[in-house]
Amino acid sequence: MDKIFVKGGEVLRGTVHISGAKNAALPTMAASLLTEDQIILRNLPQVRDIETTGKLLQEMGCEAELDQISKNHMCILRAKDPIACEAPYELVKTMRASVLVLGPLLARLGQANVSLPGGCAIGARPIDLHIEGLKKLGATISIEHGYVKARADQLIGSKVVFDQITVTGTENLMMAASLAKGETILLNAACEPEVINLANMLRSMGALIEGDGTKTIRINGVSNLNGADHTIIPDRIEAGTFMIAGAITGGEIELIGCQPCHLSTVINTMRQAGVIVEETERNSCIVRAPHEIQACNVITKEYPGFATDMQAQFMGLMTQAHGTSIITETVFESRFLHASEMIRMGANIKIEGNQATIFGKTSLTGANVIASDLRASASLVLAGLVATGETIIDRVYHLDRGYERIEHKLKTLGAKIIRGSK
Ligand code: UD1
C-alpha cells in the first residue's frame, strides 16, 4: 500500500494550477443518467472518486471513455437505453457520493436500487433527508437488504423543506425534480458553488431551475432533458489547501485557475491570521506567508461559512500560529481524528466535544501517521511540510480520492515529498 514521505523544512514557492472540483464533478456525472443524449464534461479532476463514479455509470450501462480523464480531463458520457437501475454495494461502499444516482435513476426509470453507504470516519452521515425529499415528490421508498429501493411511476413536484442543509441531498432533489411533473420548491437548500455548477449544467440540458445559490430553489419539471457540454468549476478546497501550504511553510504561492470568490470566508480567515492573499486576476491569487502567523478562531458552517472540508488543514496552520485558537466543528460530529495524529507530531491540541483548542506555536517533529479521511490526510501532509525530519503518511488512498497528483504539485513548489511503499 502506498505511503507518502515528507521531509519538512522547505519553503514553498512558485505557481500551482488548481484542478476541477471533485465535489462539483460527481453530481454532474450522475446527471448524465437523466438523458439518453451525450454529455461532455470538461475540467474533470483526475482523482479516484471520479474514476469510481465512471465505473459505477459503466456498470449501469452508460457509455463512458474513462481514459480521456487522464489524457485531457474530459469525459463523454452517454446513458442510452437500456440502463440498469442498481448501484451495487461494492462501489457505493467506497464512495458515499454514489447516492447521487438515486434521484436521476428514479426520475428517468421510475425505479432505483441504491446500496446504503454506511458510516464513515467523520460521522454517521445518514441519507434520511434525500429519502424524505424524494418521498415528498411521490416516491415509495423502503430499505431492504442494505439497499434503498425507490419507485415512482411519475414524480410529482412538491414543496420540500430540508430540516438540515445537505449538499448532495439538495443536488439529488434538484436532479429528480428536473424530470418531475410540475413545480418543486426546495427550502433550506444548500447554497454551495457545487450546487450552482450542477444547476448550470441542468439548465443547459433544458431544465427549468431558479434560485440556486440561495436557500430557495424552484424547479419546473420538464418531460425530457437533452445533452450538454459543461465545464466543471475549480476546486475551492484544493485551492484552500495550497494556500495553507504556502502560508505554513513561510513561502509564496500563486494559484492559477481558482475562483477566489468561492473562498471568501477562508481567505478572510487567512487574512485574520496575518497571511497576505492578493487576488491578481479573476481566476488567480497570490498567497504570501506573514513573518508571524496569528491565532484565530474558526466555526465551520455551510456555504458561505467556513467549509468543514478546510477545517483539518486550518488546524495544521494554527499549530504554527502564535497564541490560542479555537476551532468549532458544526457540520460533522467526529471530524477531529487528524488532531490526535498532529499531537503525535508535537502539536498541543485539546479536544472537547466539537471544539478543538490549539495552543501555538509548537515545533512539529516528523512521525508515522495514519490518514483517516480525505481532508485529514491533506492536513497531515501540511503538518509534515513544517515538521523537522520525516513524516510518513499511511493510507494515502484517502488522499487519492480527492487530490490530483498532490505530491507532484507540492514537489514542483519545492517540497521534499515522494510516494512509495516501503
Ligand atoms: C458534501 C461534500 C463533503 C462536505 C459536505 C459538507 C460532496 C460529494 N461531498 O457531503 O465533501 O464535507 O458536503 O460541506 O459534495 N445529513 C443528515 N441527513 C441527510 C444528509 C445529511 O443528517 O440525509 C447531515 C450530515 O450527517 C452532516 C450534515 O447533514 O452532518 C451535512 O451533510 P451534507 O451536506 O449532506 O454532506 P454531503 O452532501 O454528504
pLDDT by 10-residue block (mean), the chain, 422 residues: 94 98 98 98 96 94 91 96 92 89 97 82 78 97 93 97 97 98 98 98 98 98 98 98 98 96 97 96 91 97 98 98 97 90 97 96 96 92 98 92 96 97 76
Q: Which helix (H) or strand (E) holds 115?
A: strand 111-115
- CA of residue 136 to ligand 1 center, whole Å: 20
Q: Provide the pLDDT for residue 118.
A: 62
From the CB of residue 120, how many other CB atoms can be counted at a distance below 10 Å?
A: 16
Give the residue whose CA is nearest to atom 35 of ligand 1.
166
Q: How far apart are CA 418 and CA 407, in angstroms?
A: 7
Exposure pattern of 140-179 as b/e (b: 16+ CB <10 Å)?
Answer: ebeeeeebbbbbbeebbbbebebeebbbbbbbbbbbbbbb
Q: State whether the Cα torsion 397-402-406-408 is positive or negative.
A: positive
Give the residue whose CA is nearest to atom 17 of ligand 1.
126
Q: Is 55 exposed, middle or buried (0-12, 13-18, 19+ CB in 10 A)?
A: middle
What's phi and psi for 368, nearest 5 deg? -85, 125
120 is catalytic: yes
Atom of ligand 1 nearest to the CA of 26: 8
Q: Provide the pLDDT for residue 120.
A: 61
Q: Provide the pLDDT for residue 160.
A: 98
Give the residue whose CA is nearest to atom 9 of ligand 1.
23
The answer to whether the CB of 127 is under 6 A from ligand 1 is yes
The answer to whether the CB of 123 is under 6 A from ligand 1 is yes
Q: In a mutational test of the pocket of ligand 1, which residue from 48, 94, 125 has the highest number of ligand atoms less than 8 Å from its CB?
A: 125
State the pTM of this model.
0.97
Output the CA angle 397-401-404, nearest 5 degrees: 105
The answer to whether the CB of 269 is under 6 A from ligand 1 is no
Q: Provide the pLDDT for residue 77.
A: 97
